[in-house]
Amino acid sequence: MHRRRDLSPGICLSRGLAEAVAERLRTSALDLYALGDLHLHISGCPNSCGRHLVADIGLSGASRRINDHPLPHYTVQVGGHVEAGQTRLGEPVGQIPARNVPDYLADLLSAFAASEQVGDFGAYLAAGGRQMAADLISAHTHVPEFAADPAYYQDWGAAIGK
């Protein structure tokens, strides 16, 4: 897995999310090096200074109101690529709460690691991984009531939500 991450602040605190994702993957059972040259880009807003549109997995910050409270979200795009003559933009597969992104990515990468296409994320997407990326969005949209867990409504790296 490519270790460099493109980060930018914006609607969401992308640096906070990057730290949370790194920690989640570090403590997972995943062999990150077996995943190949996979690019994960995180941008704090949709305007693409983090170049999420050309990443294998691109995340861009968004805000939604859930349970009458603003809740940081990320739009997930997959399949972006940069190469002479073959550059393409990623396609959106859905939005998930910022707090659920690390577990979502761990599950998506675990599914990729267990696939016959491990090491080639583009091939994995074409062989059903795109649908898996969308299906896992649905599995990671749960949000607690605000009164039950107010910290959940804070972004990664925000004061009370660290």
| Footprint on residues 4-33 left by ligand SF4 (CB under 6 A) | 8-10
Instruction: By CB under 6 A, name the one of 22, 32, 49, 134 that touches ligand SF4.
Output: 49
Q: How far is the CB of 12 from ligand SF4 (least distance, A)?
A: 8
In the complex with ligand SF4, the residue whose CB is nearer, 6 or 56, is 6
In the complex with ligand SF4, the residue whose CB is nearer, 48 or 110, is 48
- CB of 129 closer than 8 Å to CB of 57: no
Q: What beta strand segments (E) does the chain contain? A: 40-43, 57-66, 69-78, 91-97
If one counts every other C-beta atom within 10 angstroms of the C-beta of residue 11, the result is 19
66/18 Cα distance (integer angstroms)? 23
Q: How far is the CB of 50 from ligand SF4 (least distance, A)?
A: 6
In the complex with ligand SF4, the residue whose CB is nearer, 10 or 72, is 10
Characterize the bridge pairing of strands 57-66 and 40-43.
parallel
The residues binding ligand SF4 (CB under 6 A) are: 8-10, 43-45, 47, 49
